[in-house]
Amino acid sequence: MNSQAIGVAVIETALVTMPGNPGVYRMLDEKGDALYVGKARNLKKRVTSYAQVNRLPERLRRMVADTAAMEIVTTHTEAEALLLEANLIKRLKPRYNILLRDDKSYPWLVLTAKQEFPRIGKHRGAQEKANFYLGPFASAWAVKQTVQALQRVFLLRTCADTVFANRTRPCLLYQIKRCSAPCVGRVTAEEYGALVSQAKDFLQGNSGAVQKELAAAMQQASEKLEFERAAALRDRIRGLTYVQGNDVINPVSLGDADVIALHQQAGQACVQVFFVRGGRNNGNRSFFPATSKEDGPAEVLAAFVAQFYDDKPPPAQILLSHAAEEQGLLEDALSLKAERRVHILVPQRGEKAEVVAHAATNAREALERKLAETAGQGKLLVAVGELFGLPETPRRIETYDNSHIMGTNAYGVMVVAGPEGPMKSAYRKFGIKSVITPGDDFGMMREVLQRRFGRALEEDPDRNGETWPDLVLIDGGAGQLSAAKAVMADLGLEDIPMAAIAKGPDRDAGREWFHMEGREPFQLPPRDPVLYFLQRLRDEAHRFAITTHRAARSKKITTSELDEIPGIGAARKKALLLHFGSARGVKGAGLKDLEAVSGINRAMARAIYAFFHPGVRLED
């Protein structure tokens, strides 16, 4: 029985007990990894189609051949099934689904509510109900631009609460008319509250009302001969006019909307998303979902929209460049998620159609740039294959480097590059676990390679997966290469091509030496594009190693002996450090002094004292 027949048999066995309810089904391979996740109004009817392989496209025939098991989850409605499907696709990343490659969190603008004088700034992570949030924004830069605009018009503070509480005189932002200086009483709580209300109105799209209010206030101040106040209001009106006329504003008719446009070319797709909130453009971002040549615009947009809003709230309107597959169902699912009505539109004329056309132009240009870069990358990989005598053009190159200071906080790293450039999701860092003699880079490299390829052999002993490199680059010379080859020989992986890239005399870039087993060391011409490419790989590995090491060192600096005491959490640690000034001060404190600290009872004080004085017997 061939593999396709086995897959059909698995599906037919699952169909025997499969209900006709709405739900989500998963095709699994021999390892239990998801091959495909789908949703259906009627599970039994939908899955039956996979047993009729002659009617399936080639891609789905391969999927059926790889299927070793099936799992299902029933839901109450098809809309719930759609939401669950999107969640599982993003989490499991099945090979045969259209995948949204989006692992980044989006920044929001926050206007706090707990303080007497609220603060405006950038926010990521969980949101508190009391605060006012606007977003998401496409980038931190877009948030920064909006915050600066709000400072100019509404004079709201951006400083941290600790800075605000300890100021004795206005900061520079007050001098340049970007803050009203509530920290030193230059504005009352009522006046500041009015500024906050105006800012909220502006952010919600009521800029016209805010401008009229400011104009009326300026006129009133002029009539009362309060010329200084009138001049300040005039400056705020000018700032508001500048913001409205500086391309920060999109057509006001959009209100809250996401504009999503698709462009497909050469078997690839780009989706451009513009975030518009309160009639303002919060920036845009390009996405390149993993698709197949058979996927049409309707399928790609339906999959993209469902996955995109899996972890973020949808706006009231979503404008698309093409109609999405099962668009009505998609509307129902997003409305269910948002707990309010969400409308998905494909505008054909007017202002909204112009905005969508603009997004589509951006999608086309972004995809053309990516295709050009990929073509250039492909040529470089061909040249690398020829340079190192590889049997085929490499599709995965792994580069390794180490970083430490006298053996402390030692880390080894692996960076990966392929046909589309750096594969950052495949980067790995290895905290060195063995005792390393200071300066023993050979020992570090041995441990990294043993862990990386030892685990790879455990997970994929037949080496059928796509995570095996076609070329391994080591940052170093002949010695590092020899140590690496010895590790690979011990693992039985001598057939993986390896090379070392050593810095030239005086560590000059452009004069690197390359080492390979069975070849004399060689150099490349100083302006050779392949040399630049290999240098970038080496430099990227070095950058990743340095940042990993610095992060570990910073974390260690922020820890102290207090973290090792049972029962000492963040709050008690903070109280102790504030009271005694340092961990050394806590260590030298007496029992009575420890009991005097807020939050430290007698039992905890005794535990802390005993930790630092293990040989001292305490009286009851």
* R_g over Cα of the chain: 31
8 A C-beta contact, residue 449 and residue 487: yes
Q: Tell me: the pLDDT tens digits for 327-365?
A: 999 999 899 888 899 999 999 988 888 888 888 988 888
pTM, two decimals, is 0.63
Return left, alpha or beta for 55; rule: phi > 0 is left, psi -120 to 50 is alpha, else beta: alpha
Evaluate whether 3-92 and 397-556 have a shared fold. no
Distances 301 to 40, 75, 353, 566 between C-alpha atoms, Å: 18, 23, 17, 53
How much is the pLDDT for 415?
92
The predicted-structure confidence for 230-284, as pLDDT tens digits, reads as follows 666 666 666 555 544 444 334 556 778 889 999 988 788 899 998 888 777 777 8
Q: What angle do CA 388, 414, 34 make, to 5 degrees?
A: 105
Mean pLDDT in residue range 104-125:
83
Nearest to 425 by CA among 93, 137, 106, 88: 93
Residues forming a β-bridge with 414 = 400, 428
| Residue that the structure tokens 């952010």 belong to | 203
What's the pLDDT score for residue 129?
A: 80
pLDDT in tens, 561-588: 676 777 777 778 777 777 777 777 787 7
pLDDT in tens, 383-424: 999 999 999 999 999 999 887 555 456 778 899 998 888 888
Nearest CA-CA partner of 358 in 278, 437, 284, 456: 284
Contacts of 589-594 with C-beta under 8 Å, sequence gap 24+, read 591/618
Asked whether the beta carbons of 442 and 469 are under 8 A apart, the reply is no
Mean pLDDT over 299-304 rounds to 91
Assess whether the previous peptide bond of 136 is cis (omega < 30° from 0): yes
pLDDT beyond 60 at 378: yes
Whole-number pLDDT of residue 424: 85
C-beta of residue 120 within 8 angstroms of C-beta of residue 109: yes
Q: Is 378 helix (H, G, I), strand (E, B) or coil?
A: helix
Using alpha carbons, select from 268, 261, 433 the residue that is nearest to residue 363. Answer: 261
CB atoms < 10 A from the CB of 596, how many? 12
Tokens describing residue 355:
């905005």
The continuous run of DSSP H or E covering 280 comes out as strand 280-287
Domain residue ranges of the chain, discontinuous segments joined by +: 3-92, 108-244, 252-368, 397-556, 561-612
Q: pLDDT at residue 506 above 60?
A: no
Q: What is the CATH number of domain 397-556?
A: 3.30.420.340
Region 317-328: mean pLDDT is 91
Alpha-carbon separation of residue 16 from 4, 10, 48, 343 (angstroms): 19, 10, 10, 39
Query: What's domain 252-368's superfamily in CATH?
Result: Ribonuclease H-like superfamily/Ribonuclease H (3.30.420.10)
Three-class SS state of 165: helix
Tell me the C-alpha distance between 53 and 441, whole Å.
55
Which residues fall within 8 angstroms of residue 1, CB to CB, at 6 or more apart?
A: 9
Rounded-to-10 torsion of CA 178, 183, 185, 188: 70
Q: Tell me the pairing of strands 498-502 and 428-431.
A: unpaired
Chain mean pLDDT for the chain: 81
pLDDT the model gives residue 265: 84
**Average pLDDT of the segment spanning 432-457:** 78
Which class in CATH covers the domain with range 3-92? Answer: alpha beta
Q: Does domain 561-612 have CATH number 3.30.1330.10?
A: no
